[in-house]
Amino acid sequence: MKTIIEPFRVKMVEPIRMTTRSEREEILRDARYNLFAIRSEDVLIDLLTDSGTSAMSAAQWGAMIQGDEAYACARSFFRFERTIRELTGYRHILPTHQGRAAERILFGVLGKPGMVVPNNSHFDTTRANVEHVGCRAVDLPCAESHDLAAEVPFKGNMDLEGLKRAIGEHGRERIPLVMVTITNNSGGGQPVSLANLRAVSELAHSHGIPVYLDAARFAENAYFIKLQEEGQAARSVREIAKEIFRLTDGCTMSAKKDALVNIGGFLATNDEEVAVKMRNLLILTEGFTTYGGLAGRDLEAIAQGLEEVLDEDYLRYRLASTRYLGRKLVELGIPILRPVGGHAVYLDARGFLPHLSAVAYPGQALAVAIFREGGVRSVEVGQVMFGRRDAAGVEAPVERDLVRMAIPRRVYTQSHVDYVAEVMEEVWKQRAEVKGLRISWEPPALRHFTCRFDLA
């Protein structure tokens, strides 16, 4: 088989500033070893997130010029609405400035204190929004997802038995909705199968409970279904995506992922009564119902991006390029979460640095070592992000320590990824030398964004 090439040409470039290892030592010290505090100009390859970091196409920039900036009922809104309605089939579509704004409105309308929200795995802002309205966020990932190394497809699936038990225990009255995150970001960018989504939907609907998607990476999920699910290979990704949406009653969407834009999102529902309440909240905090905190040009870029993301040449390249990095790391013997997900490669930091205990923050230590070696920025998803102190200030180890290397869409070339693999090879060779970290300062909540570290 021939190399799967980037299905685009470069039209505009952004220079990368090269740094030396000693400069990076200083950059790290100045940032107190928190990679969120490093200036983007000081990063060679930025794999912190795939969110809002996509390169837009010429067609998207062209569409932005066409943006209608009227306050109410702008032409751009109707293009946005038409595109999303055709794709999803949902009746009511509300623009929001990003995914979490959609989450806040969804749970603000449907969540009541004491209720329970099941999800295959809540993304952290989703969990925070569920908890903010006094509900309990329950993660129900399938059993296979707990084994990092198991090469099983659809590790993003929801645990159906767990959902059955949750419904039996709490009932329709206390479960306002079931949420399914596609692909499952917290679980490693793993896809959910159509069969699983169908079963979740049938089960929830048989109890009168609506199902909402967290659709941030719906196109990547749909392409995994085409590649891996029985009977799906001959269908177009668009057809599969349409079915995914039509199995459910609404969605939240961070357009910063699979709509290939730098900002934006939407909230959708089929429920008229719920939509009225959502629109009221939208006006209160985001903006009028036809712009929701976005400019007309943003709505244009999203509409265009949603067309481009379903292009199968793009998706083939997208999943292949993530898999390419994963395969190189596996060949080096580096432990990663398997199989490789859609948007990122997740390193198993405990497997990588077995000499560090969980409270020496192996994920953070590894992310720091990778930056020091090659200026590559990744993000810890482990003890720093999820660890909680008890009254005595002691932390219990969390389930796993991962480092996410997220691949921005259409931004880096194969030689950039080859460079990342070379950096990783070097860090792997010197892994015994990697030191742990101590937290010298932390805020009361969401510490991973701003806490400071010392080398242990």
> By the criterion CB under 6 A, which residues form the site for ligand F0G?
49, 51, 98-100, 123, 125-126, 181, 185, 214, 216, 254, 256, 265
CA distance 145 to 138: 15
**249 belongs to the catalytic site:** no
The strand pairing partners of 95, in sequence order, are 266
Instruction: Given the residues 42, 46, 159, 214, select the one marked as catalytic.
Output: 214
**343 belongs to the catalytic site:** no
H, E, C per residue of 331-382: HHCCCECCCCCCCEEEEEHHHHCCCCCHHHCHHHHHHHHHHHHHCEECEEEC
Q: How far is the CB of 432 from ligand F0G (least distance, A)?
A: 30
Q: Which of residues 99 and 188 has its CB atom nearest to ligand F0G in the complex?
A: 99
**124 belongs to the catalytic site:** yes
CA distance 363 to 348: 8
Q: Which of residues 179 and 303 has its CB atom nearest to ligand F0G in the complex?
A: 179
CA distance 377 to 425: 16
Q: How far is the CB of 210 from ligand F0G (least distance, A)?
A: 18
**71 belongs to the catalytic site:** yes
Q: How far is the CB of 244 from ligand F0G (least distance, A)?
A: 15
Instruction: Point out the residue whose Cβ comes nearest to ligand F0G.
Output: 99
Instruction: Given the residues 123, 223, 371, 412, select the one marked as catalytic.
Output: 123
Q: How many Cβ atoms from other residues are within 10 Å of residue 415's Cβ?
A: 8
Instruction: Given the residues 8, 37, 78, 124, select the one marked as catalytic.
Output: 124
Residue 139: phi, psi to the nearest 5?
Answer: -90, 130
Instruction: Given the residues 216, 219, 268, 301, select the one marked as catalytic.
Output: 216
Q: Which of residues 214 and 401 has its CB atom nearest to ligand F0G in the complex?
A: 214
The answer to whether 321 touches 397, Cβ cutoff 8 Å, is: no
Instruction: Given the residues 257, 301, 369, 406, select the one marked as catalytic.
Output: 257
CA distance 256 to 262: 5
Q: Following CA atoms 366, 369, 373, 377 in sequence, which dihedral angle do they give, to the nearest 10 degrees?
A: 60
403 three-state secondary structure: strand
**216 belongs to the catalytic site:** yes
**70 belongs to the catalytic site:** no
Q: How far is the CB of 10 from ligand F0G (least distance, A)?
A: 24
Q: How far is the CB of 101 from ligand F0G (least distance, A)?
A: 7
**214 belongs to the catalytic site:** yes
Q: Following CA atoms 204, 218, 330, 38 in sequence, which dihedral angle do they give, to the nearest 10 degrees?
A: -110
Q: Which of residues 192 and 366 has its CB atom nearest to ligand F0G in the complex?
A: 192
CA distance 311 to 266: 21
Q: Which of residues 159 and 214 has its CB atom nearest to ligand F0G in the complex?
A: 214
Active site (catalytic) residues: 71, 123-124, 214, 216, 257, 448
